[in-house]
Structure 1
């Protein structure tokens, strides 16, 4: 049996699509745990009105999505565990295809591509991986979402989501699993998840991004040398945040993001040029 865990908070208006995409899987031996992280909307009534014995509703006080995921892991009865988000939709054969990989190759973790909707454009992620076993699948920030993963239960018995970091929780989890070198990862080069970027975008949560980056970096020696792609991406994100905050009222914030970017920047001309352009805009603001 596969346990599927959906953490949710005040997503009653979107939740049914995610739930139905799980219940409509071609692989039927599942239990679906909807872990309600203290919602104040109609989430409970929506779930309890679903006429399917495989669905179980768990309520907890509002403590965050990662606490909800860990609550689901503790309650799970399945031999395998998967996650969906409350506004994302799976292809109907997602679990069947991933379970087939686990049984065929004895992989410990399987992940597929996701199709990301950003505005009116669609992107398939991750872009650069080839199908097969991956020694270290997490080298950058893009492409491996929680909703794309299927785990053997024993992996999540040993490793849980870090409940203290506010962003990149799946990245942190996968880094820790990968670095243990005790479990194998298999990449299925097929998009089986439709993912929509929510309103809680990076540009609206700079402080959370800072905390998450610092947490992930400080737990590893020589982080930039180990993960240069990831470091460069963080630098690019902080430069983008700096550019979005070039105003007299937010100048201190802008300069802080430039310092953050400089900290993570590795040798790449494009990022250096971007930094100089931002500084030129700041000088223009100050002088004129």
Structure 2
């Protein structure tokens, strides 16, 4: 049986805490015909030293000044030689048969991509891992997969889930280097729309590390939120250009509605732009996510006030002050 070379492209920035586990999960793969290209994106910690400690000829190590994850992922791809490509974060872990199962599932068909199962674990405690089953965990046409994945407003398109034939990447284009936050949303939407099928491999399992306070996904800066806006805009427009029925319109509306929920009360200009997009789509079916006291107050006072309460609760919890819902409600209401 032909064993194609799999190129694993990793971007690393200040990854000293977790990168050893990520690299070892590649080295320990039962499928051994791989290369790992790691681009150190201007790290200021011991990331470089840790990478260099791995004596394996299949690992290629490159340094660059800090340019962001998109640029370093593109550089890793530039140095890759494999027929099949996987992008991989420096803080996640692959199950031991991950690559073997995805390569087997693809079965040499270079017009399809292969997805994987995934679940979260927190910090270094692998015992907290729990699978997170989704409705898209099956074989699907790519535009159907995107429509179904978008429907809850929070699609999971994490880079390590995907095994991608090189010809598809050459058609879809690489990572947009102007984007940082949720840049994978734009990128993998393009990848999928240049593929025929998403083939799901349930025996390939990604251990997705969560709860990292200083991770890129926790960024709430103006630059980060602008990146999220433009990534959503590109992805939604690309999908609607391919498929524009009511279900897809609803899914795209839910993506924009989630963006509005997430960014309120900050950056009102970006929310206004999002609302313009939303007005041209089906009415969103999303409800503002909340529970407890907030859920009781939601019908009376609306989601914007509840969101402000959540922000105050977070700030008070962070300061180790006990949250008292009634006091905070009164304080906000009188502002």
TM-score (norm 2): 0.71
Q: CA deviation at 1:155?
A: 1.6
Instruction: Tell me the alpha carbon deviations over residues 197-254 of structure 1, each in whole angstroms, 9 at most, x when there is no partner.
Output: 2323766416323432244326728689645324324423532443xx6xxxxxxx38
Q: Secondary structure at the match of 1:175?
A: helix
1:39-88 Cα shifts (integer Å, max 9, x gaps): 12122221112121111111111100111111011100111111211110
CA distance in structure 2 between the aligned counterparts of 1:169 and 1:88, rounded to whole angstroms: 17
Deviation digits for residues 258-282 of structure 1, max 9, x if unmatched? 6567554834373496782424787
Aligned residue pairs total: 278
Indicate whether 1:75 and 2:79 are aligned: yes
Question: Structure 2, unaligned stretches of length 5 or more?
Answer: 290-297, 309-328
Secondary structure of the 2:56 match is coil
Query: Residues 103-182 of structure 1: matches in 2 within 5 Å?
Result: 103=107, 108-117=112-121, 124-125=131-132, 127-136=134-143, 137-139=145-147, 140=150, 141-158=154-171, 159-180=173-194, 182=195
Q: Distance in 2 between the 1:65 and 1:202 partners?
A: 12
Alignment of 1:184 with 2:228, yes or no, is no
Separation (CA, whole Å) in 2 of partners of 1:151 and 1:228: 28
TM-score normalised by structure 1 residue count = 0.81
Distance 1:271 1:94, change over 3 A: same
Which residue number in structure 2 is paired with residue 276 of structure 1? 302
**In structure 1, what is the Cα distance between the partners aligned to 2:30 and 2:170?**
27
1:205 aligns with 2:235: no
Deviation, structure 1 residue 37: 0.5
CA contact (8 A) 1:114 1:143 kept: no
Residues 7, 36 of structure 1: 8 Å contact kept: yes
Please list the CA deviations of residues 89-114 of structure 1 after superposition, one character each: whole Å capped at 9, or x if unmatched: 00000000000011166553111021
What is the root-mean-square deviation of aligned Cα atoms in Å?
3.3
1:281 to 1:157, Cα distance in 2 relative to 1, 3 A: closer
Q: Does the 8 A contact of 1:25 with 1:93 survive in 2?
A: yes
Q: Deviations over 1:139-195 (max 9, x none)?
A: 323222101111111122232111112222222122223334x54321223451100
2:271 and 2:305 map into 1 onto residues whose CA distance is 9
Q: Unpaired runs of 5+ in structure 1?
A: 246-252
Change (3 A) 1:260 1:31: same
SS at match of 1:84: strand
The match for 1:92 is 96
Give secondary structure in 2 for the equivalent of 1:270.
Answer: coil
